[in-house]
Amino acid sequence: MTGLVEVRNLIVRFSGERTVHAVNDVDLTLEQGEVLGLLGESGSGKSVTLRALMRLLPKKRAQISGSISIGGRDVLALDDDQLSAFRGQVVSMIFQEPGLALDPVYTIGDQIAETVMRHEGRSRSEAMARALDMLEVVRIPSAKRRLASYPHEMSGGMRQRAMIALALACRPKLLLADEPTTALDATVQIQILLLLRELQREFGMSIIFVTHDIGVATEICDRISVMYAGQIVETGACRDIVRTPAHPYPRGLLASTVRGARRDAPLGAIPGAPPSLDVAPVNCSFAPRCPNAEARCLAARPPAIEVAPGHLASCVLAQPASSEPLPG
């Protein structure tokens, strides 16, 4: 039974002045109605993976290989017209900066109506009614008045809601969220996370949520895939990743979280820095920083091992469905 999203062997390489192997053989599956978190730090490849799903990467510089199937459609094979119809209707995206999605010279109402008219062939009045609907769904106060507002007339939190309204106007099956709450104040962030959770339940859509923040991922994701150096190093249910991670990288991340850390003791920081991605990895990318690294870690890329049903870790030391804790 194929899921809503099936990504196999995704490789993205940027060429040009420098070569960057941004995504190195990524597999992803997502069922309808599921929320998957892509958790990673800068340079992990999470945003590039997301953009590849909507073919938002620069055509000339980005070489993509592998297969991406969304709703049964082969995304890499779509021509420009098909892509245009695909975006907004089957898949939609929200960003960290609403300015990337909202056109500053058109009102919010016009922008939402435009996408409804374009994708569903509605009349302008029908489309405007939908726009009003959407603004109410995302809880923008005085929605009717706001239809005539320009993006710059709204606060940060409201712009984010407007962007969500725009993204969901045509009820896409899949919403891609690229760090949508990172730039928001804490009290606004939690409002937006709760809104997304509510909308996800109400519309039954799937979400792939990119974030670097474990707390945010925990609030909204059913499953989490942890990315490092362009690869997925561990995938599992949110609970499993956050409570019992099997791969040394997420373990290191969780051990270095500030919340709950003892004040008089140093934080358990992961030493070193991620590799530069100028060559494709041939062995375990995390080995140079790993407390458990052995010779065989440098010999080949580690396979994905199922440590529990639905919980995979790419580490030679991961034990299949074992109760033995990993050393260190």
Q: Which residues bind other proteins (CB under 8 A)?
A: 41-42, 141, 155-158, 185-191, 193-194, 212-216, 218-219, 238-239, 242, 252-253, 256-259, 261, 263, 266-271, 273
Closest approach, Cβ 248 to other proteins, in A, equals: 12
- Closer to other proteins by Cβ: residue 6 or 41: 41
- Closer to other proteins by Cβ: residue 53 or 207: 207
Closest approach, Cβ 63 to other proteins, in A, equals: 26
- Closer to other proteins by Cβ: residue 91 or 214: 214
What 3-state DSSP class applies to 165? helix
Sign, Cα dihedral of 38, 43, 44, 47: positive
Closest approach, Cβ 31 to other proteins, in A, equals: 18
Could you tell me if 250 and 219 are in contact, meaning their C-beta atoms sit under 8 angstroms apart?
Answer: no
Of 262, 120, 140, 242, nearest to 191 by C-alpha is: 140
Q: Which run of H or of E encompasses 102?
A: none
Closest approach, Cβ 291 to other proteins, in A, equals: 14
Q: Which run of H or of E encompasses 313?
A: strand 311-314
Closest approach, Cβ 58 to other proteins, in A, equals: 22
How far from each other are the two terminal CA atoms of the chain, in whole angstroms?
39
- Closer to other proteins by Cβ: residue 172 or 275: 275
Closest approach, Cβ 41 to other proteins, in A, equals: 4
The DSSP secondary structure of 219-278, one letter per residue, reads HH-SEEEEEETTEEEEEEEHHHHHHS--SHHHHHHHHT-STT--TTS---PPPS-PPP-S
- Closer to other proteins by Cβ: residue 103 or 222: 222
* Residue 280: CB atoms within 10 Å: 13
- Closer to other proteins by Cβ: residue 222 or 306: 222
